[in-house]
Structure 1
Amino acid sequence: MSAGETMITPQTVFSRANLWQTWLDVEAAMALAQAEIGMIPQWAADEIASKARLDNFDTAELELSVAETMAPIVSLVRALSDICGEAGRFVHWGGTTQNIMSTGRLLLVRRSHRAMLNALARAIDRLGALADQHAETVMVGRTNHRQALPITFGFKVAGWIEELARQNERFLSTEKRVFALHFGGAIGAMHSFEGKGEALNAAIARRLNLTPVLVPDRASLDGQAEYVASLALFGMSVGRIGSELYRLMADEIDEIGETLGMEVVGSSTMPHKVNPKHVVHLVSAAAHLRSKVTPALEAGMPAHEGDASSNQLMSSTIESASALAWELAERLENTLANIDVRTDSMARNLQLNANVIASENLMMILARKIGRTTAHDLVHHAVLHSDDGAAGLADTLLEDSQVSAAMSRAEMEAALVPAHYLGDSIAIARKAASLAAATATAMRSRSEAWPAR
């Protein structure tokens, strides 16, 4: 395989070979677009495009040249000109280093983004399956780390699904601004393009499937900063999911576990421990991704019409952020593939406060007869002073004449059954499963519309 066609991963996507090949891809696109609008001969453009493959170069010699010039594009252009013969006179016609480097890097960001969307779609598929499978699995809902009301595990998952669906909408909005062509020559005003700069930008953008802009300058980095911020929000959403799974794995809760092999070791000194493995990496990677926002915002404030320090900071930031986001999507998929939903533990934990966890239901039924505030205060007082069990709570409440006149013991005990008070948990979980399927399908469709390279 050639350098531009090898299998890429989050760890290799921005390798030197991949960067060099995308720079050559941009040089080829520029030459072909220039021939299309009459700036250079077609035969020259065809020759340049045919030779713009890293396989055609002595990469060791190219490395030495880059070390000498400290200008990778200059070295690459010289080498490409040499192997193109007579057509070499037209290589890099009117281009500038930053046009080539930033555009090439953007093509790799898009490859990474495409792979991330596919991995995230698979993760959302898994969430959809969990929401559907556990739409009726009753568990404790918690606020402020305390038991609150009964819900279903499918409802909890539904919240994660809808948040990731909103993230997909953010990605969709950001894509048209980040995957934009800024190809305006040395300073952005297209001085060297013979009055054909707008046509040239349109032609290159069409070939590379990028969006043309009015001002193709080097100083407008807000689109890339916005993209990194969007990735950081993705890191926030995944971090929330991972952290919640992690909390539910505590021995005292034990509602979620990981399916690990028998040979997996949790601790080198405590033989009884089997620590979470997948989710800890997920939480850590999500935090790392969120940390990329600050340097992206700093990089987005270059001086004048171009600033190499800003470009270098943005380049390193968007590279690391996009690779991290791809890795995070894959880790989310892998974590979800290896979780064990422990319904017995959910039922056991529900029993800790089973006699009162649905007391809001009892309060609201009473409220229809005696008013909400009065009902609240009576039920609250009864919870504090009753013996354990729904029967004990009913006994305490029935001592009040207002209550005994409004409800029977049987009605009270029925109102306090957790499974009778799930709100719309089940319906929401079912709808979220459908939302997951639609979101994953939309992600795949959009990803497939972009070129693989």
Structure 2
Amino acid sequence: MNDITPETLFSPRMLWQSWLDVEIALAEVQAELGMIPAWAAEGIAAVADVDTLGLAALEHEAARTRAPIHALTRVVADRAGPAGAWFHWGATTQNVMQAGRLLLMRRAHREICAHVAGAVARLSDLADSHAETPMIGRTNRRHALPISFGFKVAGWIEELDRAVDRLLGMERRVFVLPFGGAVGAMHAFEGRGEEINRLMAARLGMRELLVPGRAVNDIFADYVVQLALWATTLERIAGELYVLMGEEIEEVAETLDAGVVGSSTMPHKVNPKLVVHVIAMAADLRAAAAPAMEGALSVNEGDAAANHLVARTLDRACPLAWTLSRRFEHLCANIAPSPERMAANLVASKAHAASERLMMKIAPELGHLAAHDTLHDIVAEPDISRETIAQRVVALPQLKGRLTLDEARDALDPVTYLGESARIARQGAELGRALADRLRGSE
């Protein structure tokens, strides 16, 4: 299944093959335990391939019986000869279908992690190279204090680090083997159910379940909810980039090819192309959380209605998460910051964003509250210049001439008032590179 893509992840061919892979593992383990003949396991493995069995034959039999795994058993039995009599020994449909789907989900999960690693590595470079690039910070969509662009990116990296913790942390809960027969109590395994589960889980790279039943839909809900949270993080970052790309701000742009057209009507327009797809796809993925949780409300020891809902939700959510992560990596690779525009917006800001520093300089003489209120009243005057602010503050009688005009001017310079942005940005870059290495190591 080397040709797997988001588009083919849960295609009929991939699903049938994943089920066959589970059946091969079952036969080999049962042969190892002496439950079926070794030659039978070999015969099953020899034909358990979609291309060998024929996708059309499998689909035809499934359409006739409306029972895909029963259809699989019939087709394999016809093709494997005597070995086919030992196929699907003691298993049940939901065991095979859920385990197979989990194998495909894990493949997608590895690809998601790889794309995340690429995105975080790029953001780490941006945080490092722009650790001291000044820009205006914004709160409540208004100018606040100066920061560096690297500081902003470091915040994205740390948020991604938390999101990745959730993604990787759920692996031990989600990638488990639900293989316990008709109701999960391993009735047909001759008292060897625990051994079968242990050996199959090892072969398939999964963990064991104490109760490997058919009502374990919470694990699928867990995965989709984590994907929805992941999408929320990507959407927040992309949404902020989208705002920074606006005509009035223009602090960030996308690197696009020369022939890109923004509008069929307006020749002058070149719209953002990459970020909008990330935002739309992330919103779509977030919406998958609700039906996934609904599907977790299965009844008794098995519930086909809940299973169908879970399968439908996974069919959308997993390929979408893979594509979204790939698109996000592409977006990060094509982020083009504009330090010149950031500096221009900062200097042109009417918010006098470094006023906090001047306030802290006069607070020892006036007290913090009085210093705040005095400066607030001064800067509230329409179109007041920094020079006028500096002159009025220096002239305050409470200061008794202890603050010079040059000191007041310097305090109001927003370009030099970045707090610890540079340190935080560089540490964010280190965090990002370690995260990228961690993700690559998990593949």
**TM-score, normalised via structure 2 length:** 0.97
Per-residue CA shift, 1:48-68, capped at 9, x if unaligned?
Answer: 122211121132222211111
Deviations 1:158-192 (A, max 9, x none): 01101111111111210001100110101111111
> Over the residues paired in the alignment, what is the CA RMSD in angstroms?
1.3
2:362–2:371 Cα contact (<8 Å) kept: yes
**CA deviation vs aligned residue, 1:323-351 (integer Å, no higher than 9, x gap):** 11111111011111222211111111112
2:93 corresponds in structure 1 to: 97
Q: How does 1:271-420 map to 2 (within 5 A)?
A: 271-353=267-349, 356-385=352-381, 388-420=384-416
1:355 Cα deviation from its structure 2 partner: 7.5
Deviation at 1:405, TM superposition (A): 3.8
Alignment-derived partner of residue 220 in structure 2: 224
Structure 1 range deviating more: 431-440 or 376-385: 376-385
Tell me the residue number matched to 2:258: 262
The 5 Å alignment of 1:18-417 reads: 18-353=14-349, 356-385=352-381, 388-417=384-413
Once the 2 structures are TM-superposed, how far is the Cα of residue 369 of structure 1 from its aligned partner?
A: 2.6
Once residues 428 and 58 of structure 1 are traced to their aligned partners in structure 2, the CA distance between those partners, rounded to angstroms, is 58
Q: Which amino acid aligns with 2:194?
A: E
Confirm or deny: 8 A CA contact 2:395 2:401 kept in the other structure.
Answer: no
Task: Identify the range of structure 1 (163-172 vs 234-243) with the bigger mean alpha-carbon deviation.
Answer: 163-172
SS in 2 for 1:180: coil
3-state SS in 1 of match to 2:246: coil
Amino acid at match of 1:77: T
1:386/1:396 contact within 8 Å kept: no
- Specify which of 410, 418, 423 is matched with residue 427 of structure 1: 423
Gaps of 5+ in 2: none
Distance 1:393 1:246 in 2: 34
- Paired amino acid for 2:406: A
Tell me the amino acid that sits aligned with residue 154 of structure 1.
G
Please state how far the C-alpha of 1:396 moved relative to its aligned partner. 1.9
Which residue does the alignment assign to 1:450? none
Q: For residue 300 of structure 1, report the CA deviation from its aligned partner.
A: 0.2
Q: Over residues 228-257 of structure 1, what are the superposed CA-to-partner deviations in whole Å (9 max), with x where a residue is unaligned?
A: 111101100000011001001111011111
- Give me the whole-angstrom Cα distance separating, in 2, the residues matched to 1:248 and 1:82: 63
The residue type paired with residue 421 of structure 1 is Y
Counterpart secondary structure, 1:326 = helix
Q: Take 2:383 and 2:263, find their aligned partners in 1: how far apart are those partners?
A: 43
* Preserved CA contact (<8 Å) 1:358 1:421: yes
Name the amino acid aligned to 1:144: N
Find the aligned partners of 1:261 and 1:182 in 2 and give their Cα distance: 48
Shift of 1:368: 2.4
**How far apart, in 2, do the equivalents of 1:58 and 1:359 lie?**
74
Between the aligned partners of 1:246 and 1:404, the Cα distance in structure 2 is 49
Q: Distance in 2 between matches of 1:186 and 1:273?
A: 61
Moved more, 346-355 or 295-304: 346-355
Task: Check 1:368–1:38 CA distance in 2 against 1; reply closer, same or farther (3 A cut).
Answer: farther
Deviates more, 1:333-342 or 1:301-310: 333-342
Are the aligned partners of 1:124 and 1:436 in contact in 2 as well (CA < 8 Å)?
yes
AA matched with 1:234: W
SS in 2 for 1:211: coil
Q: Is the 8 A contact 2:346 2:415 kept in 1?
A: no
Normalising by structure 1, we get a TM-score of 0.95
**Larger displacement relative to structure 2 (63-72 or 16-25):** 63-72
Shift of residue 318 of structure 1? 2.0
Query: Which range is displaced more, 325-334 or 345-354?
Result: 345-354
- 1 CA distance for matches of 2:368 and 2:80? 84
Identity %: 50
Superposed displacement of residue 430, structure 1 = 0.3
2:348 alignment partner AA = L
The Cα shift of 1:386 comes to 7.6
Q: CA deviation at 1:319?
A: 2.8
Deviations 1:242-290 (A, max 9, x none): 1001001111011111122222111111111111111110100110110
Q: Given residue 270 of structure 2, which amino acid in structure 1 is its aligned partner?
A: V
* Counterpart contact for 1:355–1:390, Cα < 8 Å: no
- Aligned-partner Cα distance in 1 for 2:111–2:276: 22
| Contact 2:214-2:301 within 8 A present in 1 as well | yes
**Structure 1 CA distance for aligned equivalents of residues 200 and 163 of structure 2:** 30
The answer on whether the counterparts of 2:350 and 2:383 sit within 8 Å (CA) in structure 1 is no
Q: Which amino acid is 1:47 matched to?
A: G
Bigger shift: residues 30-39 or 117-126: 30-39
Say which SS state the counterpart of residue 325 (structure 1) adopts.
Answer: helix
The 1-side partners of 2:4 and 2:233 are apart by 26
Q: Shift in Å at residue 399 of structure 1? A: 3.3
Q: Which runs of 4+ in 1 moved over 4 A?
A: none
Structure 1's unaligned 5+ residue stretches are 448-453
Helix, strand or coil at the partner of 2:137: strand
